[in-house]
A and B are shown apart, each in its own frame.
Chain A
Amino acid sequence: MRKVALFISLSLIVFSNSAFAQNDEGKSGTVYSSYGTGFPIMNNSVQEKGLGTLGLSINDPASPSLANPAFWGTNTFSNASVAFDITNYSVKDAFNEGDNSLFKLGSIQLVFPIQKNKLGLSVSLHPETITSYDVSSNQEYDLGDNTNEYFSNRAGTGGITKFEIGLGYQINENILVGYAPSYSFLTELEKRTLVFLDGIARLNTVDTKTNGAGFSNRFGIALNKKRIFSNRDMLQFGGTVSLPIEFNAKREVVSTKIIGSEEVEVQIEDVERADVSIPLKVGAGLTYSFNGSTSISAEAQFEEWDNAEYGFSGEEENVFKNRQVYGFGVQVNPTRRSTGRFLSNIKYNAGISYDSGHLELRNNEINTLWFSFGVGLLSPNLRTNSSLDLSFQYGKRGTTSNSLVKEDIFSVNLSVNLTELMFLKRKLN
């Protein structure tokens, strides 16, 4: 219990630091997160990221996952997990090249077995979308016969964060179901800074703040069949449906002006309310485990972005397009644990995935091809299922044509997964 309490405390500290860091100038993510409510984030675990899959058909008690609620009913141990990632974007357009980097907290999840291997409860806080961009440029404008210059910067932070409490239930050995209602917060801030480069520099900033909240529901199912081709193999099917999240969002645009010799924050546009939504998502996958130590997975997810709403900007809403994500991966745990050697406690994952993206800009689909590799470090202590997962992803997104941006993405993801027998009495001390 003390371990989990310590874990939660540390997670909150890191979460607050991470949130602060996201607002720091110089740290930013993809420029494509400037559209709508931000760039959608897959809520698969770090292990599943290394595997290149969505995690819909993969159940690993040592690495809890948000991907499929159906698996939350299979736990023996209480489990706490926190994930971080560092992502570097090497970006290029028709004129310039550069780099963006982002360090952020991925998710926090606690899974409690209410009834061992039957009914489990998951509590989590995780991002659904992320907005993180920071782009500057020098611009010109005509003033009479003269051409003057100004510096422009637009930096966005925020996104949708989900607080989710869900249940997973194992109906029998072969059928598992899960349900996860959640409350989602939309919080976005775009800072527009403009400095005239002629004469006295006057800093002009405009903050666009968008806020909203909405309920959502997620359902999961998992079916498995053992001993298909051998005594130790197993085929597992997983599927999830996430219903749309609808926000009645509020947007206000404020700026700081000098009024009566004092700096005062004023509204420069009327407060606006609009419907914003995240669309229906349907995903399914198959994982075949050959012998308990080697498995392959193939998964796909469809997201109905054609129906997503972004009432603040018809122009931005029009670039949404349906999104498909496909992933294929292999996991190998070559040696048995408890041998006392460091390498014998490592799982290896590798995979490839294709994300068609949810944006179509100037007839260009903003898709991403990912190559993934990951390792899972299992605790050598047989009394616990604690683990540390690490994954590396390399992705290529976008294009430099039509004034768009091509991104070479390198991401390192880390999750710390702690397990403990919280609600079971120990027979021996």
Chain B
Amino acid sequence: MQKSISKVASGWRLILSVLIVGSFISCEDSNTVGGGVIEPAEIVVDTLLLEDYQQDELDIYSGDLSNMPLGKYNDPLFGGFEFTGLMKPILLGVPDDSLNDSTSFKLLLKFNDRDSYGDTTQSINFNIYKVTERWRSSTILSSDDVMFDESTSIGSFSYTDEDTVIVDLAESYFLEYADYVNNEDTNRDSLYNFEFFGLAIVPEDVSSKIVFPNMNESNFLTIKGEDSVSVGVFGHGFNLERENKPTFADRIYLNNYLESFYSLSFEDLAETIDNRNILKAEFYLYEDSIQTKNSLPTDHIRPDINFLYLRFQDTQQLRYSLQFTSPRFTSIKDNKDKSYKFDITDHINEFVFSDPGQREFFLNLSIDGGALNSTIFFDTTANVSLRPKIILTTGN
């Protein structure tokens, strides 16, 4: 009896084992059969044209940016730009061996990461003058007109397309600097701050190019015999003078020195949205690349832009927010159709399902480390396909 029960039990166990193993190997991937019975999710694409935006203007903080624009160029589309650079060496510690007239003083400018702006066939000449009034790199604005002594040049140089330029500075200027370095009084730092104002790098009037030295690698040098000592930059900045500022009747004009930026809101458009399953909301802007390209003479170049930003104003003042805070949305240029696409889905969903809190965006170009960028976009007067718009994709 016991033997026969074991046989039955073995049979049961065998069948159960097959079933259990079968259950574990029965997983199949979701497959594509059945699309005619179970309809796929449907999507609907709508276009909402953005009509409401306002142009605005500010000047930027021009101090201590990565690149310092130098030069002068009259852009046929965007007008004349003239940049005067300002630099001041740090005050070295009191040396064991005093700096004297056997030491030479030089300015080293590195040009290794930026294309120039303007005529690529021409050289550009600069004169260097002593600045005659106090300025601070932490607060200087591009519109601040800092005075310098044009009667006496303390150096000059010409630039074509070199990686590095080393400029001899006048002995008189160096000795003035050396007085502060050699000064052992306790108030030497404050004297240096309040009495020594650095130098101005001024383009000659005939210039037709703007260059952007890399200020993270530029510095001053003291050379005594074969010994060379690097002298860091205490602060730098620039002053911009504009001529023939452009006014575009039928284009959106953006300049990264905040000469032109825009405020806009998507609130009115969001209120028109019926379907609440928003899969994508994308804000499109189309660059007028033909006009920007055709406006330049042969052999002239203008820095390309590739990024565009939408920002909220944070608790800081607007100028600071636009220049230094992180954007809410970033767009990279699609070179196929020169469009910029912002994925603003989350912002539109905030309107539909909540309260976005901040509603006003600012559209601007990146400060781009100090390199000058300007461009234009099609506005509400353009062909519908090129107007600023939201492409809204909703689902069922």
Whether A260 lies near B30 (C-beta < 8 A) is no
Q: Does B246 contact A (CB under 8 A)?
A: no
Chain B minimum-CB-distance residue to A104: B23
Whether B36 lies near A380 (C-beta < 8 A) is no
A268 in complex: contacting residue of B33, B37, B277, B385, CB < 8 Å? B277
B30 in complex: contacting residue of A25, A339, A341, CB < 8 Å? A25
Q: Does B28 contact A (CB under 8 A)?
A: yes
Return A230 CB to nearest CB of chain B, in Å: 31
Return A62 CB to nearest CB of chain B, in Å: 14
Return A357 CB to nearest CB of chain B, in Å: 13
Could you tell me the distance between the alpha carbons of A141 and B346 in the complex, rounded to whole angstroms?
22
Whether B11 lies near A27 (C-beta < 8 A) is no
- Residues of B in contact (CB 8 Å), total 49
Whether A93 lies near B36 (C-beta < 8 A) is yes
Question: Which residues from B are CB-within-8-Å of A93?
Answer: 33-37
Return B96 CB to nearest CB of chain A, in Å: 57
Whether A91 lies near B277 (C-beta < 8 A) is no
Q: Does A342 contact B (CB under 8 A)?
A: yes
**Chain A, 295-349, CB within 8 A of any chain B CB:** 339-342, 345
Could you tell me the distance between the alpha carbons of A257 and B276 in the complex, rounded to whole angstroms?
11
**Chain A, 120-166, CB within 8 A of any chain B CB:** 133-137, 139, 141-144, 150, 152-155
Contact with A along B267-298 (1 / 0, CB 8 A): 00000000011111000000000000000000
Question: Which residues from A are CB-within-8-Å of B45?
Answer: 141-143
Contact with A along B1-43 (1 / 0, CB 8 A): 1011101101110011001001100111111111111111101
A137 in complex: contacting residue of B3, B40, B385, CB < 8 Å? B40
Q: Is the interface of A mostly helix, strand, loop or mixed?
A: strand
Whether A91 lies near B33 (C-beta < 8 A) is yes
Whether A31 lies near B23 (C-beta < 8 A) is no
Question: Which residues from B are CB-within-8-Å of A174?
Answer: none
Whether B28 lies near A340 (C-beta < 8 A) is no
Q: Does A377 contact B (CB under 8 A)?
A: yes
Could you tell me the distance between the alpha carbons of A27 and B391 in the complex, rounded to whole angstroms?
37
Q: Does B395 contact A (CB under 8 A)?
A: yes
Return A157 CB to nearest CB of chain B, in Å: 12
Chain B minimum-CB-distance residue to A193: B41
Question: Which residues from B are CB-within-8-Å of A258?
Answer: 345-346, 349
Question: Which residues from B are CB-within-8-Å of A202?
Answer: 279-280, 343, 345
Q: Does A219 contact B (CB under 8 A)?
A: no
Question: Which residues from B are CB-within-8-Å of A377?
Answer: 8, 11-12, 15
Whether B12 lies near A388 (C-beta < 8 A) is yes
Q: Does B56 contact A (CB under 8 A)?
A: no
Q: Does B350 contact A (CB under 8 A)?
A: yes
Whether A134 lies near B37 (C-beta < 8 A) is no
Beyond A154-B40, A377-B8, whether A102 also contacts B34 by CB under 8 A is no
Number of A-B residue pairs with CB-CB distance less than 8 Å in the complex they form: 180
Could you tell me the distance between the alpha carbons of A135 and B35 in the complex, rounded to whole angstroms?
7
Return A39 CB to nearest CB of chain B, in Å: 12
Contact with B along A387-424 (1 / 0, CB 8 A): 01010000000000011110000001010000000000
Whether B3 lies near A340 (C-beta < 8 A) is yes
Beyond A103-B23, A260-B350, A405-B34, whether A152 also contacts B40 by CB under 8 A is yes
Q: Does B194 contact A (CB under 8 A)?
A: no
Q: Does A86 contact B (CB under 8 A)?
A: yes
Q: Does B354 contact A (CB under 8 A)?
A: yes
Whether B26 lies near A27 (C-beta < 8 A) is yes
B19 in complex: contacting residue of A266, A269, A404, A414, CB < 8 Å? A414
Q: Does B248 contact A (CB under 8 A)?
A: no
Question: Which residues from A are CB-within-8-Å of B40?
Answer: 135, 137, 139, 152, 154
B37 in complex: contacting residue of A25, A32, A103, A143, CB < 8 Å? A32
Return B372 CB to nearest CB of chain A, in Å: 30
Whether B350 lies near A133 (C-beta < 8 A) is no
Could you tell me the distance between the alpha carbons of A134 and B4 in the complex, rounded to whole angstroms?
46
**Chain A, 241-293, CB within 8 A of any chain B CB:** 255, 257-260, 264, 266-269
Could you tell me the distance between the alpha carbons of A255 and B349 in the complex, rounded to whole angstroms?
11
Question: Which residues from B are CB-within-8-Å of A192?
Answer: 41, 395
Return B260 CB to nearest CB of chain A, in Å: 28
Whether B279 lies near A194 (C-beta < 8 A) is yes
Taking A95-B35, A194-B41, A388-B12 as given, write out 4 further A-B residue pairs in contact, using a Cβ cutoff of 8 Å, ordered by the A residue number: A135-B38, A136-B30, A154-B38, A414-B16
